[in-house]
Structure 1
């Protein structure tokens, strides 16, 4: 954990994620000296849990934070499965993105690549080197979260940028979990997004929400977990859906500015592939800097768990119109100050960092082409979606 002995108490946070590479969302927290990252929990989603653990451990080595615990979550969703998803697709049509269950893109002209399909217990070698110093803890993520919120009641924020399985387990184990936490900020869900960028990548990412505006991968991977978490009595819930992310993109220019520092973080970021909406980074930034948000709305939110065409879709109601069966009011982020958001990324990611540990990273000069940070990817254009 980061040092919290300073005279001004640091904001305590646990990050729940399914990262598949060296991603700026985690670095925003690690590069913020006023933040105490209590731990990072791994959950299956974009890739399988064990692969997420490896990427997280390696990221902490390169970012110079080997002391932060990495906690394993469950391998599978609570109820959903690959077979159930295939059955659903046979009834209702193809999903654009299925995370670890993705075998190939439906559209052959998709410029993004998908991670190589493999069994849940396979961990491909990482392009940035395998972790050699940081190891995942034995303690399950849900138990770690429960321990932290009881150790620091009312002080621990949770940022979830992957499926909500770990949080649902923690809430099921201890119904006081949500009330003991300070707040939940999650990247997930979709209301009525409108594409605001004109790049090929942006247009292709819009394929899903143009046809299914209430569907988003993090929620769709484990709808039952999402519903449990959304109905829990949190003190504060902030939802960062797909909607505001359509105004953001990891362009080559932004990536070059983010990776300009002659640090291990800078050299590692030069291997990122540009072209993605900044889903996870938005959620982290909204928690770090609430002043970035320019438009919010209060809605009561739940997830459809009926195994029909809307399985995993977001349900929402204006106050007073909700069924009143446990739905909780959420602050829904609709828009952010994109210029200020990008500047926050540049400032934090180019700042000095602690010494890296583990295997040395081969250096790249500024401006040398970005590369895929996961060698397990199928040959193609950009990296797989990271929500």
Structure 2
């Protein structure tokens, strides 16, 4: 009998020793769809409870070849070249540089045009971005990558991942939504197989909050055109397709909460002080003065308690070639036209101090 008791005690001890390992929550599966590599990527790649399945790239602020190279180089700097990078759409579904020039001749100048930007209309604190063609040679500030992108195109990668992990994959998009629209058109079940969509895009009625030169200059984008935002304006047709797709959950981070945030030199210095040497060098190259658009999207997904005001709306985007082309359209429940618009949680305000604290904490994780 004593021998039996000893064996039972040993089994109980064994089960107790392995229980903590098996009780660990499964890491959240994520695909980042974006137009380059920035602080948002660092936050998500360093979050201990996140499994980044891959990065998909798209043209927006820069052409997709440059965005892909920036993503590959950023992963090299972080020592995360194990994460695949799948290059996506070079051009929007319908919109084009020439069409945008025609639109501007009819309806006025856009503040920011991304890959099509050749100069600012008026003086601005931000540097003038270099103009490139879609196939120009690359010469990145952080050095060109030595690793190569996946041979799989972004839309196919997105489709394959949601089929491999049905109901488990979050897609966080912080650029034009072209890749997601292509995936949806290729596979009508795509959106419904994802766990959720979180994207930075659109604009409801932003108000300038910070009293700085940079904040005042960024207000030029929305003060007279409160429903216009670049990520959507670059490819409105894609945004409309995505908005009408059957996602299980949609979270939208428009421009509105970003007006209370800024990538200040002080914030960058706080992060550099606790970052690894390689990451500190990366941070040193970032230009201060920009709102934390994409970082809000990452922070909201990582910890929704940072949201201080939100609203449930039905959302679509204007695809008519007129003065409102690309503008956000929104309705409360019951007022939507019923053309497939989906209900979305729209983030209106966040706690900037808690967002910055999260950013510093995740960079500290990388330094360990």
Question: 1:307: Cα distance to partner?
Answer: 0.2
Give CA-to-partner distance per residue, 1:203-224, whole Å, 9 cap, x none: 1111020010000000000000
Q: Which has the higher helix share?
A: 2
Residues of 2 paired with 1:220 and 1:308: CA distance? 12
Residues of 1 paired with 2:366 and 2:325: CA distance? 45
Residues of 2 paired with 1:188 and 1:197: CA distance? 21
Q: Secondary structure at the match of 2:29?
A: strand
Work out whether 1:18 is the aligned partner of 2:35: yes
Residues of 2 paired with 1:187 and 1:88: CA distance? 24
Q: Secondary structure at the match of 1:137?
A: coil
Question: 1:124: Cα distance to partner?
Answer: 3.0
Say if 1:6 and 1:17 are closer, same or farther in 2 by CA, change over 3 A.
farther
| Higher RCO (C-alpha under 8 Å, 6+ residues apart) | 1
Q: Secondary structure at the match of 1:260?
A: helix
2:284 aligned residue? 270
Residues of 2 paired with 1:6 and 1:272: CA distance? 40
2:95 aligned residue? 80
1:98 aligned residue? 113
1:176 aligned residue? 189
Give CA-to-partner distance per residue, 1:58-80, whole Å, 9 cap, x none: 00000110100000101000000
* TM-score (norm. length: structure 2): 0.92
* TM-score (norm. length: structure 1): 0.88
The equivalent position to 1:205 in structure 2, one of 205, 213, 218, is 218
Residues of 2 paired with 1:123 and 1:251: CA distance? 31
2:145 aligned residue? 131
Question: 1:353: Cα distance to partner?
Answer: 4.8
Say if 1:262 and 1:315 are closer, same or farther in 2 by CA, change over 3 A.
closer
Asked whether the equivalents of residues 18 and 52 of structure 1 are also in contact (C-alpha less than 8 Å), the reply is: yes
Give CA-to-partner distance per residue, 1:227-271, whole Å, 9 cap, x none: 000000100000000000000001111111011125111221122
Q: Secondary structure at the match of 1:88?
A: helix
2:50 aligned residue? 35
Residues of 2 paired with 1:232 and 1:113: CA distance? 37
Q: Secondary structure at the match of 2:199?
A: strand
Work out whether 1:163 is the aligned partner of 2:176: yes
Question: 1:7: Cα distance to partner?
Answer: 4.3
Work out whether 1:71 is the aligned partner of 2:60: no
Please list, as runs of the form range in 1=range in 2, the aligned pairs for 1:235-384 lying within 5 A after superposition.
Answer: 235-261=248-274, 263=276, 264-353=278-367
Residues of 2 paired with 1:154 and 1:197: CA distance? 39
Q: Secondary structure at the match of 1:60?
A: helix
Give CA-to-partner distance per residue, 1:163-203, whole Å, 9 cap, x none: 00000000000110011000000000000000101111111
The equivalent position to 1:216 in structure 2, one of 192, 208, 229, is 229
Unaligned runs of 5+ in 1: 355-387
Q: How many residues align?
A: 346
Q: Secondary structure at the match of 1:352?
A: helix
Q: Secondary structure at the match of 2:55?
A: strand
Asked whether the equivalents of residues 82 and 101 of structure 1 are also in contact (C-alpha less than 8 Å), the reply is: yes
Asked whether the equivalents of residues 149 and 177 of structure 1 are also in contact (C-alpha less than 8 Å), the reply is: yes
Asked whether the equivalents of residues 116 and 131 of structure 2 are also in contact (C-alpha less than 8 Å), the reply is: yes
* Structure 1, 149-158 or 318-327: larger mean CA deviation: 318-327
Asked whether the equivalents of residues 302 and 315 of structure 1 are also in contact (C-alpha less than 8 Å), the reply is: yes
Work out whether 1:153 is the aligned partner of 2:170: no
Question: 1:118: Cα distance to partner?
Answer: 1.8
2:130 aligned residue? 116
Give CA-to-partner distance per residue, 1:322-369, whole Å, 9 cap, x none: 111111110000011111111000100122358xxxxxxxxxxxxxxx
Q: Secondary structure at the match of 2:160?
A: helix
Residues of 2 paired with 1:52 and 1:163: CA distance? 12
Residues of 2 paired with 1:300 and 1:118: CA distance? 37
Residues of 1 paired with 2:74 and 2:247: CA distance? 30
Give CA-to-partner distance per residue, 1:271-307, whole Å, 9 cap, x none: 2111010001000111111111111100000000000
Work out whether 1:59 is the aligned partner of 2:74: yes
Residues of 1 paired with 2:316 and 2:121: CA distance? 29
1:360 aligned residue? none
Asked whether the equivalents of residues 50 and 123 of structure 1 are also in contact (C-alpha less than 8 Å), the reply is: no
